[in-house]
Structure 1
Amino acid sequence: MNTDQAFDLLKDAGLTESMSIQTLRRWLREGKIKYDGTGNRKTGYIIDDTDQAFDLLKDAGLTKSMSIQTVRRWLHEGKIKYDGTTNRTTEYIIDDTASKLFINERTDQNKDEIIHQLKLKIKTQDKHIEGIEEIHKTAKNIVIQQRDKLDKLNKEIVILKNVTRKLQNETTDLLKENTELHNELIKLKENKRDHFRSTTQSNDYSKKLGLSKLASNKDVLAEYKGLLKITHPDHGGNAKLFRYIKTDYDHFRNNIKDS
């Protein structure tokens, strides 16, 4: 391989012009390439095998990944050849990289089948995505329904609170009205009691005792004393009736004194 071929190779591999020139000068000093002064440049590259191409690219400073991509492309373009009989192993090639490149080359030739398989995978993924979207849609609808139920419950709670507040106000009003009625009832009882007392004082004691209207006060007092004696608890009488007659007797006697 002469200098022109090596220069074109390095440029095609992506090295800058200055880097390519520096590499060529070093290779010339090391005897890795030869200078052909005739200027007869051949078309294409003349490289014995993929291992030689890896050695040159690695020595030129390219990374392993860049070297692999470049050799793969050169194989595809027919610029280098794959020699299956070569048993060379370099530090740049792991697990027979040349063989892998050849297999990749064959894979490229079956790219239609690969594309078909990829389309099938994409179709499967699309169906999977559709399933996920359907699940998401269903979950979203459930959330919306739950939210509607929650809103309805909140409205019902507000209504119940208003009803409760109204009932509490009505209960307060009823308690107030009940208190007023109770006070009024107490007044009515007191008035009735006063009316009873007044009526008792103005009654005809003679008539109450079964005496004649013409009976004297002395006769009335004597009748009361007789009844008190009969109803006295010490004589086997009724204590409640005794107190009633005694009260009436005292009222009558007081009326006599006042008059």
Structure 2
Amino acid sequence: MNTDQAFELLKNAGVTEDVCIKTVRRWLRERKITYDGGQRKSGFILDDTDQAFQLLRDAGVAPSMGIPIVRRWVREGKIQHVSEGEHLKDYLAKESSSSLPIHSPAEDKLIRQLKAKMKAQEEHIKGVEELHQSSVNTLIQQRNKLNKEIMNLEMEKQKLQQEARKLLKENLDLRNELLKLKEEYSKGRQTDPEKTRIVPSKVYDPRPKLGLSRTADAKEILAGYKTLLKMTHPDRGGDAALFHFIKKDYDLFRSSLK
């Protein structure tokens, strides 16, 4: 095999150009190939697969790449015979022995530093995870507290709604009472004043007019009158005639208490 054939073989095996040049020069020194003085002769043909494995091993091609290359060369007819595989065993044994890592002191130091960094990172990650869990627990407590406050607000809301309905009912009752008094006043103006004149009496009972129960005392009756007087007062936009009618009824009740 000459230098041109050796170059072609190495390039066909995927060896870089720089490695090809160094390998061919070494093979020339070791007289594994010949130099034809510039006469180019390409197209290498190997005797058998052992020769192919030996050349690839000598060129530094790994078995994981060399074995598929030899198979391809056999299919392409670049190898004349398939041998027993003695060089293949040596080829594979070299890779197994070279696969054991041998570290220098500097590499050992670098490995220790990397392990220390990895340990520090693991501790940092652990601390972050603990902080995250603590934050989650705090958020859960805050959520439970907010849910409790929401429930309390809902209860207060229901209570306020009940009170509002109660006040609305009382307001409607007062309005109906005012309408009733106004109607009575209107009827009284249309009749003879002498017939409608209210005579003070010890047994006068205004509680039905005011919408009070029969058990209401004098203070409650007076309070009911005062509420109506405030609502119908002309200074507050009320009806003057209705105000005077209620005032007259109020005075009548007060006189009955004497």
TM-score range, shorter chain: 0.3 to 0.5
**Bigger Rg over Cα:** 1
Higher relative contact order (CA 8 A, sep 6+): 2
TM-score (norm 2): 0.37
